[in-house]
Each structure stands twice: as C-alpha cells, then as structure tokens.
Chain A
Amino acid sequence: MKSAAEKHFSIFDPGIHFEHREFYERIVSELNGLLPVCNQGKSTAVEISENTTEQEQITELMTRVESFSGDLLEVTKKLFDQYYLAKEALHRSILETTAYNKINTLDRNLLERTCDVRWWALETAFSACLDTHSRARALAASLSTQAPSPGRRKAGTLPPDLMAALSDPGTLTSREGPGRLSDLLEGAVADASCEESFRDSAQALLEILPELSAAVALSCDRLEDIRHSYTLYRDIVLATSEGRILANANPAERDRVLGLDISAESWFEKALATRNGTEYHAQDLGESRVERRASLVYATAVRESSNENGRAIGAMGVFFDFQGEAEMILKESMPTDSEGSPLEGAYSLFTDKDGRVIASTDPISLPPGTIAHLPRGNRTLGPGERTARYLVFEGLESAVFSARTDGYLDYRGLGWSSHVIVPKSLLFAQASPPEGIGITAEELMDSRILPDINKRTYLRVQDDKESIQLISLNGIVFASKLGKRGGALGPIFNQITRTGDMVTSRMEDILKEMALGELELNLKALENFSLQAIDLVDRNLFERAADIRWWATDEYFWNALADPGPDSFHRASERLKVINTSYTMYRNIVLADDSGNIVACSRTELRNELAKTNVSDQTWFQLGMRTARSDEFAVQDVQKSPLEKSKARSLVYCGGVRSRGIRCGESIGVLGTLFDWDTEARKILSTCLPRDAEGAIIEGSAAFYTNAAGEVIETTDETAFPTGSRPGLPQTVQKLAQGATTSFVFEGESGRFLAGSSRTKGYREYEGLAWCAHVVRPIGT
C-alpha cells in the first residue's frame, strides 16, 4: 500500500466490488444519455422560436446541463477512489495499531521480566547457597589434590570413584551427588590407613555437605515460591560460577535439571559478565539444555552477600513461558467470522530481527524457526516503524500489516516485529454497522467523524443536484411563458430532472454508505482501544498480584511478626524501603500484625503517623488475614483509605504473612501495597485515545475506567467524565460479560459521542475487578 497521495483506485481495480462497478456504469450511461437530450433541446429551440434571444436562452440552459453532467461524471470517478482509499486508510490505521499493540504488549511484559530477575537475584538465600556450595567445592578440590598419591600411600587405597567424585565439578550440584560423596567419604575416613590431614579435611567436608543440601533445598523452595507468585515462568535456575545448575523452581524437572552443565550457554556467560545488580542479559529465543523447547532467558549474576556491587558468584536464569504468552497475545483482536471463529486467511505472527518466525497463530502455514515469506519492506523495519503491503498469502489476495518494536521504557527489545495478515476482501467488505446504533447517515455527514474530503464531495453532489434541478425549473418557467410553443421543451426538461435526481440521489446513497462504513470502522477502532486499555491495566494488576504474593513470603516480615519489637519492626521497614525503591509504582507498602496495627512501612516519613493506625476494619486487611496459602492474594477495589489521607482513592493489594514463610497455614499478619493507581492508570488511558491520520489525538476524545458499580474511577478528562461520576452509558454496557466488548452512540453531558467499551477479562489467574474501559470521541457537528 502506497501512501494516499500516490495511490488511486481505478474503477477497474480488482478490489472494487462488482456492485460498485455496475453502479458506476449505470451512472455513466445515464449521464451520457443526457447529451443527446441536450442536443435535442438545442434543435427544439430553433424549431419553436425564431427569436434569437429565446433560442440563446434555451441553448444556454442546455449547455449548463451538459457541463454539470460532465462534472458529475468526474465526481463519480473520484467517488470510488475516495471510497476505497478511505476504507484502506482506516483499516490500515486499525490493523497497524493492532500489530504494534501486540509487540508493545509483549515488550511491556518483557520489561517486567527484566525487573524480576534483577530483584530476585538479590535474595540472600541464593547467595548463601552459592557461598556454601563454593566452600564445599573448594574443600573437595583440595582433597582431590592433597589425596595421597599411590606411591606415598602406606596402606589401603582411596577408591577411584571417590577421586572421581571429588574432582568432578558436577558432584555437588547433582541430586544424589552430595549423598553419594558423603557415603564415599565416610568409607574413606573409616579406613584406618588414611592420612591424618586427609581425615581432617574430609571431616570438614562431611560436616558441610548436609548444610549444602539444606541450602539447596531452601533455594529450591524460594524459587518455587517465586514461580507460584509469578506464573508466567516455566523455570528459574540458580547456577554455580562453574556453570552447573544448583537449584531450580520447577519440581517436575528437578531430577533432570540439577547438576546440568550449562557453562557453554551464552546466557550464563553473559550473566556472569554483568558488572552490577542493575545489569541483566536478555537472551533471544534459542536452545538451552535446561528446557525441551526454545527458550527466552533473562539472566543476571548472583553477587557475593547479595550486595548489588559484590563479586559475581553465580548466575540466575529465568525461563519465560514465551510461547504461552505469545500465543495469548497473537490470538487477541483478530478478525472473526460470523460464528466467532478466527477468519479464514487471517494470521498473526512475531518474527525475530532476521525475519524468522518465532510464534504464529498457524504453525502449519507459518512454522516457527523458518523465514516468513513476507515482503522485504515488512521484514526490514526500523524501530517503532509500521507499514502495510498487499501480497498473495496461501493463495489469497491479502494485506500484511507490520510493526517493529521500539522497546518500552528502558527495555530496548530484541528487534522483533509483529505482523497481522488479513484477506484483502476483508478490507473492502460492504459496511454493516450495527443496527439501531442511533445515528443517521445525515447526522454523520454533518459530523466530525467523516474525513473532510467526503463531506466536500457530499456538498458538491448536493450542489450539482440543486443546479440541475434549478436549470430544469427555470427551463419549465421559460417554456411555460412560450405558451403552446414551449410544450415541446417539457419532456426534455423532465428527462433532465429525472436523470439529475436519479444520479445525484444514488451518489448520495453511496456517500452515505461510505459514511456508515466509516462509522463502523470508527466504532471498531474505539472498541479496540477500550480492549487495549482494559488489557493493559489487567496485565499491570496481574504483576501487582504477583509482587504481593512473593513479598509476603519474605523472611524479614515473618521474623518481625514472630518476634515483635522496635528492632525487628525497624528491620522490616528498612526491607520494605529497599523493595519500594526498586518498585516505584507503589506509593507505600505496609505490614500489619494480626490485630491490624501497622508495624512497618516503606515510607520513612509516614512511620510515626501510621504507627498509630489500626486497619482491622479495612476490607483488605480482613481479606488478607483470610488467605490460607502463599499463592493467594486479595485486593480492595479503588476507594478512600485511612492509610492515604491526602488521596481520594487508593488501590490496595495484600497477602497474608505466614510464620517461617510456609506455603500453607494461618496468616500471622498482612502485607499491603498501595499501588500508585491513578498515575499508572492515567498513563495507560492516555495511550489509548483515538488519533487522526496525522497521529494527533482527536479533539474532545476521552478514555476512562468505571468500576463494577459503573462509577468513573480514573479518566483522561476530569471535566466531561469526572472521577466519581456516572456517565449516562447505555444498559448494555452495565450488562457486558467478562471479556466482552461493545460499541454504541451515547448522549453525554457535553454532547453526543461514539464509544467503545470492554469489560475486564483478567489475565492468567488474575480475574480482575469487573471494571470496564471506555474510549469515546465526540460526534460533534
């Protein structure tokens, strides 16, 4: 698809409907039929009058009719060009945005993943585990070198399997390795012939082995906790500096994964090479020994004593469920047929920087790992660029819309692109706007929804229609004054009137059809925007739900609650402060004991004030106390909270804290996060506003969220749709089912609007709070 300036649809373009071609030919023949009529008029003038002034008057009228019909022919030709260009442009803007949103959604998700890995790698359990391992490893290594050589041995021999076990870097990391080693060592120590120095070292190693097993078990537990909280990972692994897997999160794979040698894998090398705790490495989709399918790995180093700037003593790699996530994103906002199943010939896919398919909605036509047969221009986009082209795909005339990632915030992306392929026939399908939408074609013609060029054509057609009518009327006025002689002119003017009316009203019809098509696509676009708005907030809140579940298991908090006192509360507060510094989307994080007293919070300046606060009457606290497992959380819908006296609305997520961080059991207190909801929500809403062809936000448009009761909870327009108000949305919106979308016309206080709405469908195990997102644009005349 070239830009609108160069591209033109001839009436013979195969994309043009045959009904439209037929229609065009009809108009052309009707208008051409006027020419002989006008000639007849001119000769009649000579026949009926000898007065030259009268003849000239008639001839002038005829000439004007000829010129108007010529004019209408031109307008008709351009009309179809305009009609198809407009459809193309609207589809282009919608589908390019769809393609872009898919890659952007993925990028947003991947950004969260980079935060995750950096934060988790700082957990003390992991650095302690690696430290224990390296002490054991050093002892084993020195044993294997200081073990008496066969020549010096006085009596007995060190079994070769002990020697092998001591020198193998994989012994300590494998599942049975430590147990086997300790058996072998005990056997060797029991051998009276063994040297004293060997026996001492062996004893030391024997003592440390159970400690190592306990540390590994704890690390595996903590990794499992993470995976329970953040369900979009297939596995999370901890590797020693020598490149052996020491602990993992997925118990089903543990036997296979522990002890694996991944020292040659690039993610491991890159992770060890990171310079401090703020750095990470994102490894593009590829093979890894850890997993059976292509993996997307985020990795960073685990540092000595969990100090951000400490020496790298191992690596952590997180294996993201990319395929699952990509599948979910690719399926979204795809065109469907009348039964709601995916439209034949519509595909969506992601390609990597080399144009290789990494995920697609149809693995048979677009198998992952192969180069996608897309036009070159669609494969070689610059960051953030979008494009669209026609191609034949799987035998169907299709259009492909592509967009390349420009990263999201500080995540630069891996150069991936997103593509949406749809059959060309979909682009030019006849408009079928929802019936009873409550707006007439005439109102549309007068509105700000239509591009100016259509309005200009409409006005021009009406103008021409009027001119032809006037010529005929004046002709009849003129003829009637000629009395009987004028009678011969009557049929001629009647014919002119009839043709003029027929042609212009048909053209008006097609302009109205265009307007309805435009309306349909505009409603679709608004619906898509609202879907995006609710989806982004769902995904964001899912992350919040994951965060709270994970933090609630942190040892600082259960320690503070088990051993209450100013010191332990202070330590908990300091810990919360560290968390809050990394996760800036929270305004405050608080810890409440089992009777609802706030004992710690992340915001130092609020500690004194909140220390006097009791939250036992708050919904979030009560719900949090009732959670029975560490993978549960609770959320209190947006409302006023005593924790934030200056804010009209707070959104609180909470999770129960359990003694010793166990996964099941009674809560001994509640951890609550105060999400900076308004800032984040407004940011999301402002990216979901409709834009014109030049990319400027459409004047008067607005986006807002409503809660289950239909009250506005956040908005981009505090004047037209203020928070706390109930905009007069139709009943159908209140009745929207989970995950459903709709579009409609409604009467707001500041005028009539086109609107699209979507009800939350949740994301993964986060069900959402039955909120709706709405995006509106004024009809305005």
Chain B
Amino acid sequence: MEYVAFLVGKDLFGIPVTLVQEISKPVQIFPVPGHDVRVAGLVELRGRTIVALDLRRCLLEKLPDDDPPARRKFIVLETTSSLPHSARAMGLATHVEPLVLVADELAGIWDGEHMDFHPPPAHVPAPFVEGVVQFRNHLMTLVSIPALVDALMPQKEESL
C-alpha cells in the first residue's frame, strides 16, 4: 500500500493514498462558531463546501509556538461513495461527506511495501492513531480516518 506522508508540527504522519482524492493549495477557511476547536472551519473547493479539520489540534499534544506555515496543504479525502472497490475490499473507510485535512507540509508519497507495521503502543492514549510504520530511520504515524470522523463529525444520517 502507498501512503501520502505529511508533517504536522515536526511529526510525520501518513494516510493510505487511496483515501486521498486530491491535494490542493490552501484556500481561505471560514470558521464555524460553536464547533469543536479541532474543526478549523469550512472551505470552498471546486464549488463544494467542505469541512476542514485542523490536524495540529487533532494530533499534537501541545500546539507549536510558531504559526502554521503559509504553504500548508489541504488533503481532500474521498467520500465513502467514491472510494474505489479495492480500498473497500481492504477494509478502508472514510466519511460520507468530503473532508479536508489541513497539514503543515507534504512529505511525498511513500511505498508501504518495504515498511514494518507496528500497532499503536498500548500504554499511550492515542485515539486517532492506527499504528506506526517504520521505514529505515523514519517512523510514520498512521492516522485513523474513521476514528477522526467518529470523534469529530456529527452523525447526521443516524439522527435523520
């Protein structure tokens, strides 16, 4: 499996490539009052209004002192319906609505074939972590999209 790798603060994270629809330059974020602070707000991309998640607030223990870089990136996720069959077959899932992850910097596309997978360390509370992969000297934390969605997105369908 291939991963899109990205930096949040100084830490390296990744998600499977198949969950990514597109990577785009940042656009203006319109804050939504009353939301969880981890939701950055709404963005307009290709005519759609999409919820953007602030990965700094989601994934980092402590907010870094410096402002997020000007050239941060938006990772646009596939929706459940647009997810390829192969991905579903592998048990991957996303959200019913499109979602944007706001990352500080991209770190390229990594091929997972040569990497060792480790489950998250049991004694560390890490709600959004699916596991850790190691490639040479680097450790990349795999972000669990379903966990993020569960925690942050109101389950509209169920309430309806």
B84 in contact (CB, < 8 A): yes
Cβ contacts under 8 Å, B84 to chain A: 481
Tell whether, in the assembled complex, residue A477 and residue B24 are in contact, meaning their CB atoms are under 8 Å apart.
Answer: no
Cβ contacts under 8 Å, A477 to chain B: 4, 17, 20-23, 109
Contact among B17, B25, B73 for A481, CB-based, below 8 A: B17
Report the bound CA distance from A473 to B73 in whole Å. Answer: 12
The residue in chain A whose Cβ has the minimal distance to the Cβ of B78 is: A481
Other than the given A470-B24, A477-B109, A480-B2, 9 more pairs (CB < 8 A) read A467-B25, A473-B23, A473-B106, A473-B108, A473-B109, A476-B17, A477-B4, A477-B23, A481-B17
Main secondary structure of the interface of A (DSSP, over half): helix
Tell whether, in the assembled complex, residue B22 and residue A480 are in contact, meaning their CB atoms are under 8 Å apart.
Answer: no
A466 in contact (CB, < 8 A): yes
Cβ contacts under 8 Å, B106 to chain A: 469, 473
Report the bound CA distance from A66 to B108 in whole Å. Answer: 22
Cβ contacts under 8 Å, B4 to chain A: 473, 477
* A480 and B23 contact, Cβ closer than 8 Å, known pairs A473-B106, A473-B108, A473-B109: no
Tell whether, in the assembled complex, residue A474 and residue B109 are in contact, meaning their CB atoms are under 8 Å apart.
Answer: no
Q: In the assembled complex, how far is the CB of residue B143 from the closest CB belonging to chain A, in whole angstroms? A: 16
Query: What are 18 A-B pairs at a CB distance below 8 A?
Result: A466-B71, A469-B106, A470-B23, A470-B24, A470-B25, A473-B4, A473-B106, A473-B108, A474-B22, A474-B23, A476-B109, A477-B17, A477-B20, A477-B21, A477-B23, A481-B17, A481-B84, A483-B86
Q: In the assembled complex, how far is the CB of residue A757 from the closest CB belonging to chain B, in whole angstroms? A: 34
Interface residues of B, Cβ cutoff 8 Å to A? 2, 4, 17-18, 20-25, 71, 73, 84, 86, 106, 108-109
Interface residues of A, Cβ cutoff 8 Å to B? 462, 466-467, 469-470, 473-474, 476-477, 480-481, 483
Cβ contacts under 8 Å, B24 to chain A: 470
Cβ contacts under 8 Å, B21 to chain A: 477
Cβ contacts under 8 Å, B17 to chain A: 476-477, 480-481
Report the bound CA distance from A483 to B20 in whole Å. Answer: 14
Q: In the assembled complex, how far is the CB of residue B114 from the closest CB belonging to chain A, in whole angstroms? A: 16
Nearest 8 CB-CB pairings of A with B: A480-B17, A480-B2, A477-B20, A476-B109, A473-B23, A474-B22, A477-B17, A474-B23
Report the bound CA distance from A469 to B108 in whole Å. Answer: 9
Report the bound CA distance from A470 to B71 in whole Å. Answer: 12
The residue in chain B whose Cβ has the minimal distance to the Cβ of A459 is: B70
Q: In the assembled complex, how far is the CB of residue B74 from the closest CB belonging to chain A, in whole angstroms? A: 10
Report the bound CA distance from A469 to B18 in whole Å. Answer: 19
Report the bound CA distance from A480 to B22 in whole Å. Answer: 12
The residue in chain A whose Cβ has the minimal distance to the Cβ of B24 is: A470
Report the bound CA distance from A481 to B109 in whole Å. Answer: 13
Q: In the assembled complex, how far is the CB of residue A504 from the closest CB belonging to chain B, in whole angstroms? A: 13
Report the bound CA distance from A474 to B21 in whole Å. Answer: 8
Report the bound CA distance from A480 to B23 in whole Å. Answer: 14
Report the bound CA distance from A244 to B86 in whole Å. Answer: 116
Report the bound CA distance from A287 to B91 in whole Å. Answer: 104
Q: In the assembled complex, how far is the CB of residue B121 from the closest CB belonging to chain A, in whole angstroms? A: 29
Tell whether, in the assembled complex, residue A480 and residue B86 are in contact, meaning their CB atoms are under 8 Å apart.
Answer: no
Report the bound CA distance from A470 to B109 in whole Å. Answer: 11
The residue in chain A whose Cβ has the minimal distance to the Cβ of B71 is: A466
Cβ contacts under 8 Å, A481 to chain B: 17-18, 84
Cβ contacts under 8 Å, B86 to chain A: 483
The residue in chain A whose Cβ has the minimal distance to the Cβ of B109 is: A476
The residue in chain A whose Cβ has the minimal distance to the Cβ of B83 is: A481
Q: In the assembled complex, how far is the CB of residue B116 from the closest CB belonging to chain A, in whole angstroms? A: 21
Cβ contacts under 8 Å, A473 to chain B: 4, 23, 106, 108-109
Tell whether, in the assembled complex, residue A466 and residue B25 are in contact, meaning their CB atoms are under 8 Å apart.
Answer: yes
The residue in chain B whose Cβ has the minimal distance to the Cβ of A483 is: B86
Report the bound CA distance from A473 to B106 in whole Å. Answer: 10
Report the bound CA distance from A379 to B106 in whole Å. Answer: 61
Report the bound CA distance from A637 to B4 in whole Å. Answer: 70
Report the bound CA distance from A483 to B17 in whole Å. Answer: 11
Report the bound CA distance from A390 to B21 in whole Å. Answer: 58
The residue in chain A whose Cβ has the minimal distance to the Cβ of B73 is: A470
Report the bound CA distance from A467 to B20 in whole Å. Answer: 18
Report the bound CA distance from A469 to B84 in whole Å. Answer: 24
Give the residue among A466, A469, A474, A481 with the most B Cβ atoms within 10 A: A481
